[in-house]
Amino acid sequence: MLRVSWFWELLPEQKIIEEKILNIIKTSYKKIWYTSIETPAVEKNSVLTAKWWWESLKQIFWLYGLTQWCEKDTKKYSLHFDLTVPFARYVIDHRNELIFPFKRNQIQKVRRWERPQRWRFRELYQADIDVIWEEKDNKNYLFYDAETIFTIVNTLEEIFKTVNIDKTTFININHKKLINWFLKHIELKNIKGKITNLIDKKDKISKQDFIKELGNLNINKEKQGKIIEFTNIETFNIQEIKKLNINNEEWNNWIKDIEDILEILEQLWIKDKVKINLSIMRGLDYYTGMVFETFIEWERNLWSIASWWRYENFTSFIDSKSFFSWVGWSIWISRLESYIFEKLETNQKTSSEYLLINFKETQKKVLKLYKKFIEQWKYIEYYPEPDKLWKQFKYADKKWIKYCIILWEQELQEWQYQIKNMENWESFYKNL
Amino acid sequence: MLRVSWFWELLPEQKIIEEKILNIIKTSYKKIWYTSIETPAVEKNSVLTAKWWWESLKQIFWLYGLTQWCEKDTKKYSLHFDLTVPFARYVIDHRNELIFPFKRNQIQKVRRWERPQRWRFRELYQADIDVIWEEKDNKNYLFYDAETIFTIVNTLEEIFKTVNIDKTTFININHKKLINWFLKHIELKNIKGKITNLIDKKDKISKQDFIKELGNLNINKEKQGKIIEFTNIETFNIQEIKKLNINNEEWNNWIKDIEDILEILEQLWIKDKVKINLSIMRGLDYYTGMVFETFIEWERNLWSIASWWRYENFTSFIDSKSFFSWVGWSIWISRLESYIFEKLETNQKTSSEYLLINFKETQKKVLKLYKKFIEQWKYIEYYPEPDKLWKQFKYADKKWIKYCIILWEQELQEWQYQIKNMENWESFYKNL
């Protein structure tokens, strides 16, 4: 392989499917008026590492050109590792030209310098939607949380339908602040970080190991039980959480937020896709509100294929004079694709449907037919050179082309052309 | 600006147009069965610099990750500067999985470390089509030369139609071997390189300067006249070239090639788009056959917006055991776009057509309507929060949204909703 390792690339028959997926996502995002933007693959290091200095520094691809040292601007550049930081930078750079709330979609590849592992790549497609506005928290904007969930659910369902995989997706919803109040309630707030890290990997370890590690944190049996009860909650019904009976004004506020979102989702008829799951944590500490993860039905042990965030005041890390809040979702296309390619057999080597047979004697006539097919938006391919008929049929078979178009003496006499179905070998005729 | 300079990015209203253009190109390429591929942005330096070592080295963006030095594979990587070299590498890597002749389209951004100037960028979109086969020259494959011309002409015409710019494009065609035989004929083959370099910049300098520089090469008046006569030929008619009367078997062969291509183009009804122009040279020496450049009508002083190549044995520079020939075209999208954005006024800030007015009292009713519109694939946007009606109208105006959807007490009573046209202020009603 001359290709750089861990930089994935698809064969043509896989790319046909990827293009379908990208089209569905793009159309589905635009349908709910997320306007498109695209940012350069390259950003300044000062922007990329503004928020998580060391975390980012480790995973960026640094760039330099041979002549760079001669230029005045000696700041270093790198490839973007996600679409969130570039979007924040875009909003700051163009804040006077944009209208807020600004809803955008962005589908691009990102590159990460990380140790590759299954379903992680050094180059991957992400498909993001975000809504950004210039104020602080505004309860009305909970609509956008619901709307993004609605969009992601619709998009994923549409993708599975198109590739003919009989799976549905469900979304796990949680609120980061709930665990805060819960831990305060059981008086363990001092080791919050350690507990949330542990909960974050709960799905990947056994129940015994989870309990053992809780013990290692010097948590007594009674509190262990409460944590397990709390993190086991996985329900479509908000009442289950109210039963926890943690009466506190702030806790009640967050519960109200979830309730409001679920109510909007009910209006949009997709509430049954959304499950409350109190064990969803998400590593990074910049998610200030609700967090969501999306899983494929019955494939819970797989990585999440889409996730959600809400930030307050994210842009200020890049530019201290900017204050924006936002909610957003990302679909991890590369991960979703890996799953699809594992399930799917792909044989179609081309998107062409017709093969135009090439005979020296009728080359001129055939070209007019060729042009006609193209004008009618039919996918047609012209066999490269005059050759034996069986060879041309064999080529059509090899490429999974369904029909061959034949135009020779007999057809010419009757001013017709022949269409041969390569599956059942039947022919029919049409006028030239 | 926090953005890295010379890395261009579009505003949402421009991106709407770019997406249209990209869609047209993609559809048009696929219509003539160029299957899609996409290669990583990153290639090994040994691949990128295999053919033109210094030329490439100068213009690549080198990459490194912090942990790179710990890895075994210490070969360096860079960003690709075109789509041709990566495609050659793709064909070599996947030769056992592809079916030849292999026709592919590839639309991606490339990055170049070059001194920026007008209509050149450090990151730019290219849209390539290529046909590649495993043999040497095959006269039948002249069909592909014609077919690629046909595709490019159709695509460009379609783009100008869509963005409503009343321009047509024409293609300049030449054969690199013609100048060889011509120079041999007038006994100047020994300074061929100098003469072709001079011809290459003929369009950019005055006639006087051109003659002066011919003189500087110690070319006598008679031969100067012949070179000027030769390079002035710009015609739709192959007979003009035959008149030059250079009788030589190889010369006649090349003329025959051009004639064959023009004949196929005549069958496809686009011959009037293709002009023979003997002054088209193209810098690099790897073009072994015909060369084409595409200009916008009356804008000849602009850079070419698409160009063509034919290589024999290109892949062997990367892998000495590979032998492939190919023909291909590239549309310089970024350059074409710059031209379009200069001509066009873009005001539409969003692709949404409807604004759903937000009143606290009817929020629930309205959400059902919102869902209905989305299901019908109508671009609708919901105003973010309950607010005064005039404010919501103003927002629609600012975003160039054509219709407002109003659902309030009066409408509810009659089980209807109101659609208000923001241009003429007229309303009509539809049943809920």
% of chain B residues with pLDDT over 90: 25
Residue B269: pLDDT over 60:
yes
A87 in Cβ contact with A48 (< 8 Å)? no
Partnered with residue A294 across adjacent β-strands are A171, A306
B59 in Cβ contact with B85 (< 8 Å)? no
Of B15, B370, B379, the CB nearest to A36: B15
Tell if the CB–CB gap between B63 and A79 is shorter than 8 Å: yes
Tell if the CB–CB gap between B9 and A38 is shorter than 8 Å: yes
A114 vs A241, residue with greater confidence: A241
Of B31, B41, B113, the CB nearest to A377: B31
Burial class (CB in 10 A: 0-12, 13-18, 19+), A158: middle
Of B35, B141, B380, the CB nearest to A384: B141
pLDDT digits (tens, 9 = 90+) for A138-157: 777 888 888 988 899 889 98
- B177's enclosing H/E stretch is helix B176-185
CA angle A63, A69, A75 (to 5 degrees): 55
The one-letter amino acid code at B227 reads I
Name every chain A residue with its beta carbon within 8 A of the beta carbon of B65.
59-62, 113
- A91's enclosing H/E stretch is helix A84-93
Residue B391: pLDDT over 90:
yes
Of B79, B319, B399, the CB nearest to A99: B399
Joined together, the tokens standing for residue B296 give: 């916008």
Q: Are strands B354-356 and A35-36 parallel, antiparallel or unpaired?
A: unpaired
Sign of the C-alpha dihedral, residues B7, B13, B16, B21?
negative
Q: Does B70 touch chain A (CB under 8 A)?
A: no
Name every chain B residue with its beta carbon within 8 A of the beta carbon of A382.
143, 147
What is the structure's pLDDT at A73?
47
Peptide bond before A86: cis, by omega within 30 degrees of 0?
Answer: no
Dihedral, A143, A146, A152, A154 alpha carbons, nearest 10? -100
What is the structure's pLDDT at B404?
95
Which residues 346-375 of B have a C-beta within 8 angstroms of A? Answer: 349-352, 364, 367-368, 370-371, 374
Residue A420: pLDDT over 90:
yes
Residue A65: pLDDT over 60:
no
Within its chain, how far is the Cα of B266 from the centroid? 24
Return the number of other C-beta atoms located less than 10 Å from residue A187's C-beta. Answer: 8
Tell if the CB–CB gap between B35 and A264 is shorter than 8 Å: no
Task: Return the closest-CA partner of residue A113 out of A64, A55, A66.
Answer: A55
The third-level CATH classification (topology) of the domain covering A1-168+297-345 is BirA Bifunctional Protein; domain 2 (3.30.930)
What is the structure's pLDDT at A54?
63
B311 vs A205, residue with greater confidence: A205
Q: What are phi and psi of A34, to 5 degrees?
A: -80, 110
The arithmetic mean of pLDDT across residues B369-395, rounded, is 88
Joined together, the tokens standing for residue B82 give: 């075109």
Calpha distance A240→B196 (Å, rounded): 81
Name every chain A residue with its beta carbon within 8 A of the beta carbon of B386.
140
Tell if the CB–CB gap between A109 and B138 is shorter than 8 Å: no
Q: Does B253 touch chain A (CB under 8 A)?
A: no
Tell if the CB–CB gap between A267 and B140 is shorter than 8 Å: no
% of chain A residues with pLDDT over 90: 25
Joined together, the tokens standing for residue A164 give: 């003919």
CA atoms within a 13 Å half-sphere pointing along the CA-CB vector of A134: 9
Q: Does A133 touch chain B (CB under 8 A)?
A: yes
ipTM of the complex: 0.85
Closest CA–CA distance from residue A35 to any residue of chain B (Å): 6
Q: Does B385 touch chain A (CB under 8 A)?
A: yes
Residue ranges of alpha helices (H) inside B236-359 are 239-242, 249-267, 333-343
Tell if the CB–CB gap between A374 and B32 is shorter than 8 Å: yes
Least confident of A28-32, A366-370, B99-103, B245-249: B245-249
% of chain A residues with pLDDT over 70: 87
Q: Does A317 touch chain B (CB under 8 A)?
A: no
pLDDT digits (tens, 9 = 90+) for A350-370: 667 899 999 988 887 888 888
Of B3, B11, B61, the CB nearest to A63: B61
Joined together, the tokens standing for residue A132 give: 């950004």
Name every chain B residue with its beta carbon within 8 A of the beta carbon of A99.
349-350, 395, 398-399
pLDDT digits (tens, 9 = 90+) for A377-418: 888 888 988 999 999 999 998 888 889 999 988 888 888 999
Tell if the CB–CB gap between B66 and A89 is shorter than 8 Å: no
Of B4, B7, B11, the CB nearest to A94: B11
Closest CA–CA distance from residue A140 to any residue of chain B (Å): 6
Residue A67: pLDDT over 60:
no
Least confident of A36-45, A261-270, A281-290, B309-318: A281-290
Return the number of other C-beta atoms located less than 10 Å from residue B24's C-beta. Answer: 20
Q: Domain-by-domain residue ranges, chain A?
A: 1-168+297-345, 178-270, 354-431
A37, A100, A102, A136, B221 from A94: Cα distances, Å: 12, 11, 11, 20, 59
Tell if the CB–CB gap between B64 and A62 is shorter than 8 Å: yes
Calpha distance A67→B156 (Å, rounded): 36
Tell if the CB–CB gap between A40 and B7 is shorter than 8 Å: yes
Mutate to test the interface with B, among A24, A132, A143 (most CBs of B within 10 A): A143
Q: Does B386 touch chain A (CB under 8 A)?
A: yes
What is the structure's pLDDT at A10?
93
Task: Return the closest-CA partner of residue A156 out of A293, A11, A33.
Answer: A293
CA angle B76, B79, B81 (to 5 degrees): 125
Domain B12-343 CATH superfamily? Bira Bifunctional Protein; Domain 2 (3.30.930.10)
What is the structure's pLDDT at A89?
93
A371, A431, B154, B263, B342 from B268: Cα distances, Å: 6, 19, 11, 9, 33
Sign of the C-alpha dihedral, residues B396, B399, B403, B408?
negative
Tell if the CB–CB gap between B143 and A11 is shorter than 8 Å: no
Task: Return the closest-CA partner of residue A176 out of A259, A84, A283, A55.
Answer: A283
- B86's enclosing H/E stretch is helix B84-93
Residue B162: pLDDT over 60:
yes
Q: How many CB pairs under 8 A join A and B?
A: 228
Tell if the CB–CB gap between B37 and A10 is shorter than 8 Å: yes
Q: What is the CATH number of domain A354-431?
A: 3.40.50.800
Average pLDDT, chain A: 83
What is the structure's pLDDT at B93?
93
Task: Return the closest-CA partner of residue B280 out of B257, B304, B256.
Answer: B304
Calpha distance A147→B271 (Å, rounded): 52
Mutate to test the interface with A, among B1, B3, B22 (most CBs of A within 10 A): B3
Average pLDDT, chain B: 83
CA angle A221, A222, A223 (to 5 degrees): 95
Calpha distance A26→A34 (Å, rounded): 9
What is the structure's pLDDT at B5?
78
B328 in Cβ contact with B309 (< 8 Å)? yes
Within its chain, how far is the Cα of A255 from the centroid? 28
B129 in Cβ contact with B329 (< 8 Å)? yes
Which residues 291-310 of B have a C-beta within 8 angstroms of A? Answer: none
B384 in Cβ contact with A140 (< 8 Å)? yes
pLDDT digits (tens, 9 = 90+) for B142-159: 888 889 888 998 899 899
What is the structure's pLDDT at B338?
85
The one-letter amino acid code at B259 reads E
Mutate to test the interface with B, among A14, A47, A63 (most CBs of B within 10 A): A63
Residue A18: pLDDT over 90:
yes
Which residues 165-224 of A have a C-beta within 8 angstroms of B? Answer: none
Calpha distance B293→B404 (Å, rounded): 48
